[in-house]
């Protein structure tokens, strides 16, 4: 049937399979959750941390490999949306505006998932949250077999919910198990590599599988990749503070032996330190605005860029080449951001990436006769692409380092959700036909991007190489 399922009746076996998923996924979640809810205070100190002198060993390497793989698998699922839309539109016989509901529903799911899994990570532990999101990720791969478009929308929303949870929880966990001397570059490098790797994996899968098996194979691959991540779950540790609060002393002792973690008393705050909730309130506002601004640039301006270039008279090759160039500069930008973040300054690296994006927005406002000069246009586009890649590479790691244990997952989830909200808004704009020009989009984003840079410079603080114990004080 050339892998086409439209019009096929759902037989009893398929209904049974879906029922087993509906029953099995909640049961798996129930089995993974601890039986008693731990107590997390918002001002809880980090009572276990590896000294600066702790070298990275094979246990650290195992965590880095598994969590990077988890991010690649996690990012790959929503990144596949663009590759499945053409085949899905043709098979279901739907219009482009109807097909646009799929990425909209998926992005809403990722936004919701960032809140849910961040909260679960603070309440039930980082490791459990990662396992639960992976279980849901595996079960939603069934959307590749849905004969009706409406069922695809339902499963795609649940897929988005599962995919939205990995990123903030991984950052929170890495911040708690890595030695302070290595924490900064590890957070940026793992997160950036996972993001870039996810998009590359999605494009490679589409190139290899879609011509042979059709677009549905890109959804079904979530099953074996998710199972692989679950098989490697033994290498994922739990937050040491969480283990201490739960009284799981044997696991805590094992972590101390493997990761060099030692108990440390709670640090006293300086006499002139601001009240914690006031400082966190200002910083949360700054980081949320930065994430929102980034999402509108990434999901809006850069998404509309090829169409705008063709409207200006540029060739389709140049227009599509801008997307390819973003993939080429993404990984070098992440490497540079990781180096600056760990060697120079965490706070000012974030401010610097915001400033670079801001300069790109200003460049997009230049008169059309100036932007018609191709070298200048490419410089402006390069600044936007490098600025946004660097910005997202350091934004969530910086968030994870700035909040205490009891709210770290929720705060990182809030910023992660803000970084996806722009995608939801952009999809709504596209559905109603509101697609601005390059200059119009840049003008609207200029003020919030500048405000986010100023707020981070004002409310942020330096975290490079500092103990989480001291930062929480």
pLDDT at 424 (0 to 100): 81
Residue 263: phi, psi to the nearest 5? -70, 140
pLDDT at 272 (0 to 100): 46
> Measured at the alpha carbon of residue 277, what is the angle toward residues 276 and 279, in degrees to the nearest 5?
65
Residues linked to residue 262 through DSSP beta bridges, in sequence order: 49
Instruction: Note whether 197 and 121 are within 8 A (CB).
Output: no
Q: What percent of the chain has pLDDT over 70?
A: 84
Q: Is 263 helix (H, G, I), strand (E, B) or coil?
A: strand
* 167 closest CA partner among 422, 397, 350: 397
320 pLDDT exceeds 70?
Answer: no
* 224 closest CA partner among 155, 157, 291, 137: 137
pLDDT at 302 (0 to 100): 64
Mean local confidence (pLDDT), 438-462: 85
Indicate the pTM of the whole model.
0.80
Which domains, ranges and CATH numbers included, belong to the chain? 54-180+188-235 (1.20.1250.20), 275-473 (1.20.1250.20)
Mean local confidence (pLDDT), 198-227: 85
CA 72 to chain centre: 10
133 pLDDT exceeds 80?
Answer: yes
Beta-strand runs (E) in 244-400: 262-263
Mean local confidence (pLDDT), 300-306: 64
Mean local confidence (pLDDT), 440-463: 87
User: From the CA atom positions of the chain, what is the Rg in Å?
Assistant: 23
Distance CA 344, CA 370 (A): 35
Contacting residues for 304 by C-beta, under 8 A, at least 6 apart: 435, 436, 438, 441
How many Cβ atoms sit within 10 Å of the Cβ of residue 153?
Answer: 17
Distance CA 159, CA 182 (A): 33
pLDDT at 353 (0 to 100): 93
Copy the structure tokens of residue 144. 């590749």
24 pLDDT exceeds 60?
Answer: yes
First to last CA, the chain: 64
Mean local confidence (pLDDT), 91-120: 84
Say if residue 15 is exposed, middle or buried (CB neighbours under 10 Å; 0-12, 13-18, 19+).
exposed
Total length of the chain: 473
Distance CA 365, CA 439 (A): 5
Angle between helices 149-163 and 101-124 (to 10 degrees): 40
pLDDT at 100 (0 to 100): 78
45 pLDDT exceeds 50?
Answer: no
Cα–Cα separations (whole angstroms), residue 396 to 190, 326, 338, 458: 11, 20, 13, 18
68 pLDDT exceeds 80?
Answer: yes
Distance CA 212, CA 168 (A): 35
Question: 454-469 as b/e, with b when 16 or more CB fall inside 10 Å?
Answer: ebbeebbeebbeebbb
Reported as a single tens digit per residue, the pLDDT across 305-316 is: 666 666 666 655
DSSP code at position 270: P
How many Cβ atoms sit within 10 Å of the Cβ of residue 386?
Answer: 21
Instruction: Note whether 456 and 290 are within 8 A (CB).
Output: yes
Mean pLDDT over the full length of the chain = 80
Cα–Cα separations (whole angstroms), residue 243 to 128, 238, 252, 284: 12, 7, 6, 27
pLDDT at 41 (0 to 100): 43
pLDDT at 265 (0 to 100): 60
Is the dihedral angle over the CA atoms 24, 27, 33, 34 positive or is it negative? negative
Q: Is 113 helix (H, G, I), strand (E, B) or coil?
A: helix
pLDDT at 307 (0 to 100): 60
245 pLDDT exceeds 90?
Answer: no
Which of 13-17, 90-94, 418-422, 440-444 has the weakest average pLDDT? 440-444
CA 136 to chain centre: 17
Which of 72-81, 116-125, 128-137 has the weakest average pLDDT? 72-81
């Amino acid at each position: 049937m050339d892998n086409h399922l439209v019009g096929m009746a759902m037989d009893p076996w398929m209904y049974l399979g879906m029922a087993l998923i509906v029953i099995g996924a909640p049961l798996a979640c129930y089995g993974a959750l601890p039986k008693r809810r731990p107590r997390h205070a918002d001002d809880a100190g980090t009572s276990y941390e590896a000294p600066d002198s702790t070298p990275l060993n094979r246990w650290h390497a195992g965590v880095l490999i598994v969590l990077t793989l988890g991010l690649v698998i996690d990012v790959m699922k929503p990144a596949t949306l663009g590759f499945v839309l053409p085949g899905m539109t043709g098979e279901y016989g739907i219009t482009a505006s109807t097909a646009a509901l799929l990425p909209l529903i998926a992005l809403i799911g990722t936004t919701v998932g960032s809140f849910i899994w961040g909260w679960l990570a603070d309440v039930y532990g980082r490791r459990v949250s990662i396992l639960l999101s992976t279980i849901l990720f595996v079960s939603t791969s069934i959307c590749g077999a849905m004969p009706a478009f409406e069922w695809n929308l339902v499963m795609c929303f649940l897929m988005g919910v599962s995919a939205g949870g990995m990123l903030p929880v991984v950052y929170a966990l890495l911040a708690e198990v890595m030695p302070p001397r290595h924490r900064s570059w590890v957070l940026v490098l793992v997160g950036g590599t996972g993001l870039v790797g996810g998009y590359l994996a999605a494009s490679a899968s589409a190139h290899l599988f879609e011509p042979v098996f059709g677009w549905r194979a890109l959804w079904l691959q979530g099953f074996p990749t998710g199972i692989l991540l679950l098989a490697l779950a033994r290498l994922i540790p739990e937050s040491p503070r969480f283990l201490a609060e739960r009284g799981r002393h044997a696991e805590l002792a094992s972590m101390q032996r493997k990761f060099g973690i030692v108990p440390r008393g709670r640090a006293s705050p300086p006499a002139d330190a601001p009240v914690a909730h006031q400082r966190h309130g200002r910083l949360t506002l700054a980081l949320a605005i930065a994430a929102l601004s980034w999402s509108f640039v990434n999901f809006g301006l850069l998404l509309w860029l090829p169409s705008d270039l063709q409207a200006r008279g540029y060739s389709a090759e140049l227009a599509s080449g801008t997307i390819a160039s973003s993939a080429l500069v993404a990984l070098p930008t992440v490497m540079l951001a990781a180096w600056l973040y760990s060697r120079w300054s965490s706070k000012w690296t974030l401010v610097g990436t915001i400033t670079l994006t801001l300069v790109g927005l200003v460049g997009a406002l230049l008169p059309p006769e100036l932007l018609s000069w191709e070298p200048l246009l490419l410089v402006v586009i390069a600044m936007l692409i490098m600025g946004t890649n660097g910005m997202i590479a350091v934004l969530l790691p910086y968030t994870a380092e700035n909040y205490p244990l009891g709210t770290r997952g929720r705060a990182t989830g809030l910023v992660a959700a803000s970084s996806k909200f722009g995608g939801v808004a952009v999809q709504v704009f596209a559905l109603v036909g509101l697609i601005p020009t390059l200059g119009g989009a840049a003008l609207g984003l200029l003020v919030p991007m500048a405000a986010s840079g100023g707020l981070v410079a004002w409310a942020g603080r330096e975290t490079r190489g500092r103990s989480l114990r001291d930062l929480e004080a």
